[in-house]
Amino acid sequence: MKPLKDITVLEFSTMVTASFASMIMAEQGANVIKVEPIEMGDPMRYLGTSKGGISALFASCNRGKQSARINIKDAAGQALVRQLAQKADVVIHNFRPGVMDRLNLGSDLLRKSNPGLIFVAITGFGTRGAFKNAPAYDPIIQAHAGFAATQGKSEPAFIRNLMCDKVTALTAVQAVTAALFQREKTGDGQHIDLSMLDASLYFMFPDGFMNHTLMDDDVIQQPLIADLIYELSHTRDGGITFSAATAQQRAGLARALGREDLLDDPRFGTLESWLENMDAYKAELKESFLKFSTEDLLTRLRNEHVPAARCHDYEDVLSQEQITANETVELVKHPLMGSMRVVRSPAMFGGERSSSIAHPPSHGQDTDAVLSDLGLDDIEVADLREKGIVL
């Protein structure tokens, strides 16, 4: 089942946010046309490990799309895009505020000729305020949205992953599908503004800011969830992570470690006393972990129904039996990139999981096909190419 079948998305994107969002829609059935700059295209094409002129990062954010190479700085190129937008259901971009208007491709203009169009404008910081035109990359937003604050203890630390980019992309897809649902009822499209800062703080807030949510003086403050469960416990030959959130799980942990004496320790007898004496509790456990090998301890914890795991390295992650059982990862052949792993779209519709077999496009590989769909013949396309409007 492809729930977005017959939906056409027109994407203008550099880097991850809009690219990842529109790829999710492509894997759910949408026809995505990625309009790329005529010179070098999306710079993500050239970042990191690559083969055949396409990077792994680009491939994992752009599967299943068409790539059209159009000079949108030229009036003739803008006219082509306006024609494409008349047939589109969604336009999505991640340019700074005002850029699409200056290119004569703004929301008001495109939606005037296509009232059902959903126009999604992703920015770093929003459309108002002192930072509205500031450049925004993932670590910058992590710093502004509190990701760095929640990861560090003595000093800020970053999640070494494009977390804010991808959270914003997921938020964008949810907003688009909500707007499509509304359009089904009213026939009207709409304009959607989405900032990376807002999306990231929204995502971070429930647990990351739990001690900055309740504002009255009589609030009972407790440790952050991050301070309770996100730690590596060192074993004799490695390390594990575990979560003993309930009284039953904490009792199971004590039995697995041979520390039944902790069950009668008044410092840890109730949830309140356990939280108040968390540092002492961790100190009591620390040496006990070192008496066991990782595998032995994992077995003991699982026998006691205590959630626990070894922290897998890259290759172990991909070879896990559960990943295989879920058919999460596919091995595909790309005509330029060769053999490559892809992670299939996680949502299953009607019990079926979408295949990720569609390839990421080369720069401009579908320009002729896109223009042909607009009704241009070979002579007209050749003329545009000679004038540098398309490539």
Q: Is the same domain home to 274 and 381?
A: no
> What residue numbers bound the domain in which 153 lies?
8-205+325-386
Query: Do 38 and 131 lie in a common domain?
Result: yes
Residues 36 and 97 in one domain: yes
Q: For residue 320, is it within any domain?
A: no
Q: Are residues 165 and 285 in the same domain?
A: no
Whether 40 is covered by a domain: the verdict is: yes
Per-residue tokens: 124 = 């770093």
- Which of residues 280, 310, 340 is at a domain's end? 310
Identify the pLDDT of residue 328. Answer: 94
User: Is 288 inside a domain boundary?
Assistant: yes
Q: Is residue 316 part of a domain?
A: no
What are the tokens at 315?
A: 């290759």
Residue 73 main-chain phi, psi, to 5 deg: -85, -10
What CATH number is given to the structural domain containing 287? 3.30.1540.10
Q: CA 230 to CA 130: how far, in whole Å?
A: 36
User: Do 178 and 74 share a structural domain?
Assistant: yes
Q: State whether residue 119 is helix, strand or coil.
A: strand
CA–CA separation, 146 vs 139, rounded Å? 11
Mean pLDDT by 10 residues, the chain (391 residues): 94 96 96 96 95 95 97 97 98 97 98 98 97 95 95 90 98 98 98 98 96 93 83 92 90 95 91 88 92 96 96 92 94 92 91 80 96 96 96 94
The domain boundary residue, chosen from 310, 338, 357: 310
pLDDT at site 357: 67
Residue 50 and residue 197 in one domain? yes
Domain boundary among 278, 310, 342: 310
**What pLDDT, on a 0 to 100 scale, did the predictor assign at position 352?**
83
First to last CA, the chain: 35
My answer on whether 297 and 334 are in the same domain is no
Angle between helices 247-256 and 294-303 (to 10 degrees): 140
What does the alpha-carbon distance between residue 89 and residue 200 come to, in Å, rounded to a whole number? Answer: 26
Cα–Cα distance for residue pair 273/9, rounded to 1 Å: 55
Fill in the amino acid letter for 41. Answer: G
Question: Would residue 284 be called left, alpha or beta, if left means φ above 0 and alpha means ψ between -120 and 50 degrees?
Answer: alpha
Judge if 41 and 130 occupy the same domain: yes
In-domain check, residue 147: yes
Nearest to 90 by CA among 121, 62, 118, 122: 118
Do residues 367 and 268 share a domain? no
Prediction pTM value = 0.93
pLDDT score recorded for residue 233: 93
Are 268 and 346 contained in the same domain? no
Segment holding 233, helix H or strand E: strand 233-234
- For residue 306, the SS3 value is coil
Residues 300 and 346 in one domain: no
Measured torsion, CA atoms of residues 30, 35, 40, 46, in degrees rounded to the nearest 10: -20
Structural domain includes residue 329: yes
CA distance to 71, 83, 355, 375, per residue, from 370 (Å) = 14, 11, 24, 9
What CATH code is carried by the domain that includes residue 181?
Answer: 3.40.50.10540
pLDDT of residue 355: 72
Q: What is the pLDDT of residue 294?
A: 95
| Total number of domains in the chain | 2
Q: Are residues 23 and 115 in the same domain?
A: yes
